[in-house]
Amino acid sequence: MIIILKKGTPEIEINRTIQEITTTLPVKAEKVVGRHQVIIGMIGETSSLDPLLIQEVSPWIEQVLRVEKPFKRASREYRYGQESEVIVSTPNGDVKFGEAHPVVLIAGPCSVESEEMIVETAKRVKAAGAKFLRGGAYKPRTSPYSFQGHGESALGMLWAAREATGLGIITEVMDSTDVERVADVADILQVGARNMQNFSLLKKVGAQNKPVLLKRGISATINDWLMAAEYILVSGNPNVILCERGIRTFDRQYTRNTLDLSAVPVLRSLTHLPIMVDPSHGTGKSSFVPVMAKAAIAVGADSLMIEVHPNPAQALSDGPQSLTLEQFDRLSHELEGMCQVVDRVQPTLAILA
């Protein structure tokens, strides 16, 4: 349930209203500051509450509305239609994710293989316009006989790459016992597709203060996914970015997954959270990545995550879907035109042009 306040409601009255609501009703209440309105969001046993009675709490209340969706804090209704943004501070400065901001590029290898390779990759993708370095320390692999990531030592290598370039770091956390260790290094914690409904992990990343990148489960419906985001939000962490990375369908001969680009406008209509697209996992083949990356921008994605490796043929994991450093350079330049058409140019990209 949300309360929309009249324009110009004094701060003291907002606080009094929140105070009265939380002490008299079985709900938690929080202030949500939009571009045009201040809203009070209420989560809890709202189904039995009468909007008309709540309206009497303050003469500054304009309207009281129910959030009809099963996801509440994640829904666009909860912010009365306004998008949110996730601001991440990196050594190079704040990076903003959201539909009012330029498209953010994230690049890097599937796995962190050595300090040398990750630092080299970081420098090159930074030069090409990326704002974040991705790289797996802990790798979820279908087979126990596949490379499982270098673990804790890889976290150190990521830190070295961060120091060397100032790029933000995104890396996956797979186990609730690793959350703190990963959060010491990562600027954004990634929850992978296979763990999208690992609710213990969701609660744990929701209880720490680094932003969370939540990948879509391989057969998660849009509702499943937003409910997973809701787990993080209700645990106290408002900074969630959603990442589409392909779904499992009946045809898996030519692509690893089916990249569901219509998820982007669907999410836009349902949620205020920023949206990322990963065309590398989405297709599983490097030759399809560039056009799908362009299409992701065309369709409105706020950010792209792209796998890049200095030598894909020798990669310890996901080589076939990794671009070379040169291919990423070229793609990054090509994406500029696309960003211009949709009016979401990265200032730094523009400079490169």
Contact letters (x/-) for a copy of itself, 151-190, by CB under 8 A?
-----------------------xxxxx------------
Q: How far apart (Å, rounded) are the C-alpha atoms in residues 257 and 279?
A: 10
Minimal distance, residue 238 CB to a copy of itself, in Å: 14
What one-letter code names the amino acid at 245? R
Phi-psi region of 261 (alpha: psi -120 to 50; beta: other; left: phi over 0): alpha
Q: Which of 15/252 has CB closer to a copy of itself?
A: 252
Q: How far apart (Å, rounded) are the C-alpha atoms in residues 322 and 202?
A: 28
58-63 contacts, C-beta under 8 A, 24 or more apart: 58/5, 58/9, 58/13, 58/16, 58/17, 58/20, 60/5, 60/6, 60/9, 60/10, 60/13, 60/14, 60/17, 61/3, 61/4, 61/5, 61/6, 61/17, 62/4, 62/5, 62/6, 62/37, 63/3, 63/4
What one-letter code names the amino acid at 243? C
Contact letters (x/-) for a copy of itself, 114-143, by CB under 8 A?
--------------------------xxxx
Minimal distance, residue 293 CB to a copy of itself, in Å: 9
Segment lying near a copy of itself (by CB under 8 A), choices 34-42, 151-159, 160-168, 242-250: 242-250
Q: Which of 230/318 has CB closer to a copy of itself?
A: 230
Contact letters (x/-) for a copy of itself, 274-313, by CB under 8 A?
--------xx---xx--xx-xxxxxxx-------------
Minimal distance, residue 14 CB to a copy of itself, in Å: 25
- Decide if 212 contacts 188 (C-beta within 8 A): yes
For residue 44, the cross-strand partners are 27
Contact letters (x/-) for a copy of itself, 30-69, by CB under 8 A?
----------------------------------------
Q: Does 208 bind a copy of itself (CB under 8 A)?
A: no
Minimal distance, residue 249 CB to a copy of itself, in Å: 5
Minimal distance, residue 204 CB to a copy of itself, in Å: 9
Q: Does 144 bind a copy of itself (CB under 8 A)?
A: yes
For residue 226, the cross-strand partners are none
DSSP reduced 3-state for 306:
strand
Work out which of 26, 53, 184, 199 binds a copy of itself, going by CB under 8 A: 199
Segment lying near a copy of itself (by CB under 8 A), choices 28-36, 255-263, 303-311, 321-329: 255-263
Q: Is 219 exposed, middle or buried (0-12, 13-18, 19+ CB in 10 A)?
A: exposed
Q: Does 260 bind a copy of itself (CB under 8 A)?
A: yes
Return the HEC string of 162-228. Answer: HHHHCCEEEEECCCHHHHHHHHHHCCEEEECHHHCCCHHHHHHHHCCCCCEEEECCCCCCHHHHHHH
Binding residues for a copy of itself, per CB under 8 A?
70, 72, 140-145, 148, 174-178, 194-195, 197-201, 218-219, 221-224, 227, 230-231, 234-235, 247-255, 258-262, 264-266, 269-270, 282-283, 287-288, 291-292, 294-300, 337-338, 340-342
